A and B are shown apart, each in its own frame.
Chain A
Amino acid sequence: MDSASPQPDHWPDRAGRLGAGAWRWLESPLVLRTILALLLALALLAGVFPQTEPQAGMDEARWRLEARARWGRAFDIAETIGALDVYDSAPFRLLLAALGLVSLVRLTSLWAPRWSLPPRRGLVARSAARSGGDDEARRPEDAVRAEGLHLTPLGARDGLRFAAITDTPSRHALAGLLFLGVVLLLVAGFVGGRWSWEGASVALALGEETVLEPATDLRARLDLLEVRGSGAPTQRLVADLSLRQDGAGTDAAQTTARVSAGQPATVGGLRLYMVGQGPVVRVEAEAAGGERLRLTWLGGPATTAETVRVRFAAVEHEQIVALTGADRLLEMVYYSSLPGEGIDEPVVHAVLRDASGGEILAEEFLTSDGVLDDGRVQVRLAAEYFVRVRAEREPELPLAVLGGLALLAGGVGQALWPPRRGWLVTAEDGESARHLLLAPEREWAERLWRGLAGEHE
């Protein structure tokens, strides 16, 4: 049965009528369901199409190249229609804003009963009368209290008294947390979008130093890398970093931080995350006479050194090191395993080649440290790791944590103790009164109506 509004049809002014209509519309299940359904369609799109990484730079460029090679023309079409960036698209943001507005309206309606309006659908109207000599019929306050509910007066007009029937404050508070959680998460997203900062994911091998935060010239150097556990599933890297900030040519205070996967470190206002790791081969070479050769990693920094640490960003990634003054090239390819060679663990295929003629002079499959020796040049290889570290400023994190917890608590409240709500219109005439109860078709509403009508047990 459709319910009518307990308020008079003729609101004092047009703005009030429009406002009430808009409020009721925003609170209606239809609007919420529509928003949820549209969000669902976009979430599906985001789940089916790979999403571009939020961080620009080399990683995204490589990702695009690989994705285009894999998907072909479909990638371009998906990109054109915005399917590769759903969570950053205007429709998604608009829907989130709408969800936030609806959540705010529902939260206000739950926590501030004076702002609540009865929905046009989903309520049943029950009328009850109390005559002057009727001792069985309860006063509205008593009947409502007998059900463990509260009566909040909304006002009076034309001889009618309007009141909202609300549940216990704890049930309202708990159920409202669901909407508060949504609002907090959206605010956290906004704060994060405006004031958070996310640095580039930088790769660091032992002894390397790089800039973490360009704005403050904060630099990190990987001092120590500890391998904990054995075997791929349990192996974990723990990195000790030293951080320094150069200011006006003088070294500022140096500090250290220890990070590992899943265990970020906090330094000042920054959080440092280890977001990846990979293999490194440390290369050193010497001529037959024992003198150290200078090496140039062709994919790395354009400098020469006696020791280079060559990183492999992906499997089957080839890296080349030139041995200056020895006319030698060291080629290395990293594999996660080589079943054809009977190797079922990560392995580097290393080849020492004559740079001028291209002839292979020495070759090894290395699963740990090893040596390539062609009689004139000896190349020592050692297996190490590099780590990917990212620095972030996350002022929104406390809000997001609160939002997540509120969402969870509110879900429990809504599911297990859904708040009972109703509205009561009373017309009094001396000792007698007539009541119109607007409430959902539930047992508690039936009992309340019986109490008002004097039919209670």
Chain B
Amino acid sequence: MAAGGALDAVGIAAGVLWLAQAALAHRLPGVAVRRALIGVALAASVLTAVLWAAHGATPVGTPGMALAVLGLALGAWVVPPAVGGRSARALAAAAGALTLAGIALPMGPPAVVVARGWRLLSDGALALGVGSLLAGAMWPATGSGAADRRLPVGTALILGILALVAYAAGAQQHLGDYAPGSPGMSHRFAALLAIALVAVDGGARRRAPILAAGLFGALVVLASSPLAAWLGTAEAVIYP
């Protein structure tokens, strides 16, 4: 494992807690105990992302952190009371698996030295938005959550827009161009379009398109960092 120390420990704890939640939630004695376990797992996931950011990484700039933040997003959607039973266990299992996979990947050097605030906001919103979309595909098919999947898909839309707007604000401030046509902008634009495609007119009722859009978004998030480095455009020097 490349990521060492506190980050490893907290990340592994978060992953194990989510997996424990998935395996044992239905055997726990009461709702209060279950919610406490969710709370601790969520806090550990948030702390993992914070420690990663403190190392200098951003979610889209580092595949490991991208996986962990996707896991955080999936785990966060276990919280609403409408989600329960198999859906909650599936979300918790996915959150645990993604968090542990993220910790297993190399941490990588800090990549971004300018517009760090905007990049953190943009990258975080993008990864959390794509995670919300994946959560929408796992949304309960029965019970009170069956009405539709508007909430996670709608949240993904808001976060996708925020990701693009924050990136544009950073680009304007540092390059004097809010739409620089850089790989970073194209990736965010593509992820937002994928989210918008399933969110059109609240068309969030069917699971398959949401899952497809979510997986596509996850691919874009995970591929962004290696793609930008491989393409190595001139402007990537100051604002990748």
Residues of A within 8 A of B (CB): 29, 32-33, 36-37, 39-40, 43-44, 46-48, 50-51, 53-54, 59, 62-63, 70, 86-87, 122, 189, 198, 232-233, 261-264, 271, 273, 275-276, 390, 392, 394, 397, 400, 404-405, 407-408, 411-412, 414-416, 418, 443
Contacts of A261 in B (CB 8 A): 114, 174, 238
Q: How close is B132's CB to chain A, nearest CB, in angstroms?
A: 10
Q: Contact: B193 with A43, CB < 8 Å?
A: yes
- The verdict on A39 contacting B186 (CB below 8 Å), with A189-B179, A416-B154 known, is no
Is there an interface contact between A276 and B154, defined as CB atoms closer than 8 Å?
no
Residues 99-114 (chain B) with a chain A CB within 8 angstroms = 110, 113-114
CB atoms of B238 and A48 under 8 A apart:
no
Q: How far, in angstroms, from A282 to B68 measured CA to CA in the complex?
A: 47
B7 at the interface (CB under 8 A from A): no
Would you list which residues of chain B between 53 and 70 have a CB under 8 Å from chain A? 56
Query: Which residues of A sit under 8 angstroms from B115, Cβ to Cβ?
Result: 262
Task: Tell me which residues across on chain A come within 8 A of B150, comparing CB atoms.
Answer: 415, 418
Chain A residue contacts of B154, Cβ below 8 A: 414-416, 418
Kindly provide the distance from the CB of B225 to the nearest chain A CB, expressed in whole angstroms: 13
B56: chain A residues within 8 A (beta carbon): 233
A44 touches B200 (CB 8 A): no
In the complex, chain B residues whose CB is within 8 Å of the CB of A122: 201
- A408 and B121 alpha carbons, distance in the complex (Å): 14
List, in ascending order, chain A residues with CB within 8 A of B199's CB. Answer: 414-415
- B174→A262 contact, CB < 8 A: yes
**With contacts A262-B174, A414-B157 known, is A40 near B202, CB below 8 A?**
no
A412 near B176: Cβ-Cβ < 8 Å: no
Among B165, B182, B200, B234, point to the contact of A36 (Cβ < 8 A): B200
Q: Does B237 contact A (CB under 8 A)?
A: yes
**B176 A198 Cβ-Cβ under 8 A:** yes
| Separation of A263 and B183 alpha carbons in the complex (Å) | 23
Query: Residues of B with Cβ closer than 8 Å to A?
Result: 56, 110, 113-115, 147, 150-151, 153-155, 157-158, 160-162, 165, 168-169, 172-179, 181-183, 186-187, 189-190, 193-194, 196-197, 199-203, 220, 227, 231-235, 237-238
Q: Do A48 and B174 touch across chains, with their CB atoms under 8 A apart?
A: no
**Contact across chains for A44 and B190 when beta carbons are under 8 A apart:** yes
Determine the distance from Cα of A415 to Cα of B179 in the docked complex, in whole angstroms: 25
> Contact: A275 with B178, CB < 8 Å?
no
Picked from B113, B162, B178, B197, the residue with its CB within 8 Å of the CB of A37 is B197
A39 to B190 CA separation, bound complex (whole angstroms): 8
Give 18 new A-B contacts, CB below 8 A, not counting A43-B186, A276-B237, A397-B172: A29-B201, A29-B203, A32-B201, A43-B189, A46-B186, A46-B189, A51-B181, A51-B182, A54-B177, A233-B110, A233-B113, A273-B174, A275-B175, A275-B238, A392-B176, A404-B169, A408-B162, A412-B158
A87 proximity list for chain B (CB < 8 A): 179, 181
**Inside 8 A of B235's CB, which chain A residues have their CB?**
53
| CB <8 Å contact, A40 and B175 | no
B227 to chain A, nearest CB (A): 7
In Å, the complex CA distance between A29 and B227 comes to 33
Residue in chain B with minimal CB distance to A46: B186
- Cα A262 to Cα B173 in complex, Å, equals 5
Residues of A near B174 (CB, < 8 A) are: 261-262, 273, 275
A-B contacts counted at CB < 8 A amount to 125
Query: Interface on chain A toward B: helix, strand, loop, or mixed SS?
Result: helix
Verify B190–A411 contact, CB threshold 8 A: no
CA distance A273 to B235 in the complex (A): 14
A253 to chain B, nearest CB (A): 24
Closest 9 CB pairs of A and B: A415-B154, A47-B186, A273-B176, A40-B193, A43-B190, A46-B186, A411-B161, A43-B189, A404-B165
Distance in angstroms between the alpha carbons of A59 and B151 in the assembled complex = 46
Contact of B200 with A32 in the complex, beta carbons under 8 Å: yes
Question: Bound state CA distance, A371 and B183, in angstroms?
Answer: 43
List the B residue with the shortest CB-CB distance to A45: B186
Which residue of chain B lies nearest to A85 when distances are taken between CB atoms in the complex? Answer: B181
Residue numbers in A under 8 Å from B155 (CB-CB): 415
Does the CB pair A40–B194 fall under 8 Å? Answer: yes
- Supposing A44-B190, A48-B227, A122-B201 touch, asked if A408 and B158 sit within 8 A by C-beta, the answer is yes
With A404-B168, A411-B158 as known contacts, state yes or no: A46 contacts B176, CB within 8 Å: no
Given known contacts A29-B201, A50-B231, A400-B178, A40 and B190 CB-to-CB distance under 8 angstroms = yes
26 A-B pairs whose Cβ atoms sit less than 8 Å apart in the complex: A32-B201, A33-B197, A33-B200, A37-B193, A39-B189, A40-B197, A43-B189, A47-B190, A50-B231, A51-B181, A51-B182, A51-B233, A53-B234, A54-B177, A63-B234, A189-B179, A198-B177, A233-B110, A233-B113, A261-B238, A262-B114, A273-B175, A273-B176, A411-B160, A414-B157, A418-B150
Choose from B190, B202, B237 the contact partner of A418 (Cβ within 8 Å). Answer: B202
Q: How far is the CA of A394 from the CA of B171 in the complex (A)?
A: 14
Which residues of chain A are within 8 angstroms of B177 by Cβ–Cβ distance? Answer: 54, 198
Tell whether, in the assembled complex, residue B173 and residue A264 are in contact, meaning their CB atoms are under 8 Å apart.
yes
Which residue of A is nearest B224, CB measured?
Answer: A47
Inter-subunit contact B161/A408 (CB<8 Å) = yes
In the complex, chain B residues whose CB is within 8 Å of the CB of A33:
197, 200
Interchain CB contact (< 8 A) of B181 among A36, A54, A70, A271: A54
For A412, list chain B residues within 8 Å (CB): 158
CB distance from B69 to the nearest CB of A (A): 20
